[in-house]
Chain A
Amino acid sequence: MLYREALNKALDEVMSADDSVVTLGEDVGLYGGSFRVTEGLVEKYGEKRVIDTPIAELSIVGNAVGMAIGGLRPVAEIMTGNFSLLAFDQIINHMAKLHYMSNGKIILPMVVRFPQGVSRQLAAQHSESYEQMLCAVPGLRVLSVNDVNYAYHALKYAILSDDPVVFIEHELLYNKKGEVDFEQKLNPFEARIAKEGSDITIVSYLKMVDDVMLAVPEIEKALGCSCEVIDLCSLNPVDYETLKKSIEKTSRLVMVEEDHKTGGYGGQIVSWAAEEMFYALDAPSLRLAGEDVPIPYNRGLELASIPTPESITRDIVAWGKKNDV
């Protein structure tokens, strides 16, 4: 099953079981979703539950907030992450805060999904990542899964949850293949150990987990070590327990993210390690992230602006040699 099919299946199952679940966004209905996540849903559930909206992101999220107040369970799709900026007033000032400001009286069972990240030559206004902003706002749960099985279960969880959830997807993950275990019970807030290892803990999320996995065989060969790869899955809250256990075992931490380094999300993980895990670490932590530039259109420049399997290998091997891994 493809990643996008897993999301589609999750939505379909929840909509089938609960009439109050609706999905809204640009092109989600008759068009089938620009990344085909909502394909076939309008035929099954009708235009009142699969709602084609105007190109008006503030309203997509703002309306979803009102729908949740009014007794529905909306799943809002923002076509791409950059467009979510137009909805950030509603995401931050309303979706994240109404529960707290009302002292728990307002409950917002809603999800905002959006794809983001560097895809293929979409240039600066269609390539940004926003987890750092979303995770800086208390009141939002932020999920960002790499794995197809997790995508299915985490989206179902997000829709059934009574908390507002932002579900971040990556445009290059939609056609990723994987098996889904429909019977499995899994907790999307628990980090996923993508690969076990004993010498280096490499933490990542979304599409970068795949790039790390591509890099690992060469890193292990070059350094003669074994790497543990952790897919965070949930960026807020973070499963620090799993990270702690891994670092205690490996005593080394590498954080890999696609976003720009300055102010990027990985800074949180590395600073947590500096505060809480200092004496467990045998080497300074390494942070691999995108360059501090708007994402360029040219393919060569675009690839140079973010970590790639090659640069991940190169940088981790160099760091490993310097730090006696």
Chain B
Amino acid sequence: MNKLLAQEMYYLMVLGRAFEYAAKENYMKGNISGFLHLDIGQEALSVGAVKAFEKGDIFSGYREHIMAMSRGLEPKAVMAELFGKVTGVSGGKGGSMHLFEPSHYFYGGDAIVGGQLPNAVGCAYARAFLEQDEGVMAIFGDGATNGGAFFESLNIAATHKLPLLFLCENNEYAIGTNIGRTAPFKEQAKKAEPYMPTYEVDGMDVEAVYKVVSEARKQIESGHGPVFVEAFTCRYEGHSISDANSYRSAQEMAHCKARDPIQRFKKALHEKWLCTEQEIQNIETKAQKAVENAVKYAEESPEPEADALFEHVFYEEGENVVS
């Protein structure tokens, strides 16, 4: 990691947070509807992990806006998708939970908890089969680790020694229920221990996340099989925008925010990466501007045409293809 990358990651983190607040604001205005899962507080994890996984395929869940932008998706295309506009990443058909951009090896955006895990396993199988160097990263929350898809995926990935990085973002809450009430321990990596090497990392520290995921990536690419990384993090907002977050105490939230990943990294930028106040301010201004542009773009973009309703139900338009 060098200064340039540090600055880029800081940009993505502040961009992410500003983007999420803008999304929240536009939800309140009625410009965005449906489910909206905000990532505020978890920026270090989303940015650090995706930047560390520079090549390869990423399969994520529904809290994926910042991951998508860290993967190189344009903020305006992501915002337009939230607005349901035709210029959105998924043409307005996916919404917040379904951002897909195969040209950036980014596959969602999956709204079924743990549903992306078997898909990531299959894709890792394809990568190994085709002898491609890059592996696959599956990102999921602590809640997904209690489901059958998770255990099936650990088993198959380990059996075939697939190049698959399991990244668990443990924010301790599966919707509104603390992990302590649904699993016998808080460290979900314990579930993966019989199958593969596991690592824990402070998910509020972008440099630590970047370092651990980079090493895990090299490990899966070396052909020895899957790796499990668990990052402990904290979301500031409720599970989704309709969740008032009333199940967490003021003390708990204060403890969360005392570990704020952006403030922490800003300090490191000054002290470790020797960034000037001006440099940091320029980054923040640029991020703010990008979000403003994204909102403006989304507002001004057209709605999908009526014909779009029937487009892409199938890939092959002709139902009369002859074998």
Contacts and interface: CB of A to CB of B under 8 A. Distances in A.
30 contacts: A48-B129, A53-B156, A54-B152, A54-B155, A54-B156, A58-B148, A59-B118, A62-B122, A62-B149, A63-B118, A63-B122, A63-B125, A63-B156, A64-B122, A66-B118, A66-B120, A69-B57, A70-B127, A72-B125, A72-B126, A74-B122, A93-B112, A93-B115, A94-B115, A103-B93, A105-B101, A163-B316, A186-B322, A187-B321, A187-B323
A106 interface: yes
B47 interface: no
B262 interface: no
B107 A89 contact: no
A89 B152 CA distance: 14
| CB-CB nearest 4 A-B residue pairs | A62-B118, A66-B122, A70-B126, A103-B91
A186 B117 contact: no
A252 interface: no
Nearest to B101: A105
B90 interface: yes
Contacts of A189: 319-320
Interface size class of B (residues with CB under 8 A): 35 or more
B11 interface: no
A90 B94 contact: no
B315 interface: yes
A157 B321 contact: yes
Interface string B144-173: 000011001101100100000000000000
A90 B148 CA distance: 13
A69 B313 contact: no
B314 A101 contact: no
B115 A62 contact: yes
Interface string B72-92: 000000000000000000111
Contact of A56 (B90, B136, B156): B156
A68 B102 CA distance: 12
Contacts of B115: 62, 89-90, 93-94
B312 interface: yes
A104 B127 CA distance: 22
B181 to A, nearest CB: 24
Nearest to A66: B122
A126 interface: no
Contacts, number: 164
A106 B90 CA distance: 10
A138 interface: yes
A54 B154 CA distance: 12
A62 B121 contact: yes
A25 interface: no
Given A66-B120, A68-B122, A70-B125, 18 more contacts: A56-B155, A59-B153, A61-B118, A62-B118, A62-B121, A66-B119, A66-B123, A71-B130, A72-B125, A72-B129, A100-B313, A102-B102, A105-B90, A105-B103, A138-B313, A157-B321, A186-B323, A187-B322
A282 interface: no
Contacts of B149: 58-59, 62, 89
B311 interface: yes
Interface of B: 57, 59, 90-94, 98, 100-103, 107-110, 112, 115, 117-127, 129-130, 136, 148-149, 152-153, 155-156, 159, 311-316, 319-323
B323 A157 contact: yes
B230 to A, nearest CB: 22
Contact of A58 (B129, B152, B320): B152
A161 interface: yes
B126 A67 contact: yes
A139 interface: yes
B313 A139 contact: yes
A22 interface: yes
Interface string A80-123: 00000000011001100011111111111000000000000000
Given A101-B98, A105-B101, A66 B125 contact: yes
Nearest to B102: A105
Given A63-B121, A163-B314, A70 B57 contact: yes
Interface string A235-253: 0010000000000000000
Contacts of A61: 118
Contacts of B59: 66
B316 A161 contact: yes
A64 B156 CA distance: 13
A72 B119 CA distance: 13
A106 B94 contact: no
Contacts of B108: 102
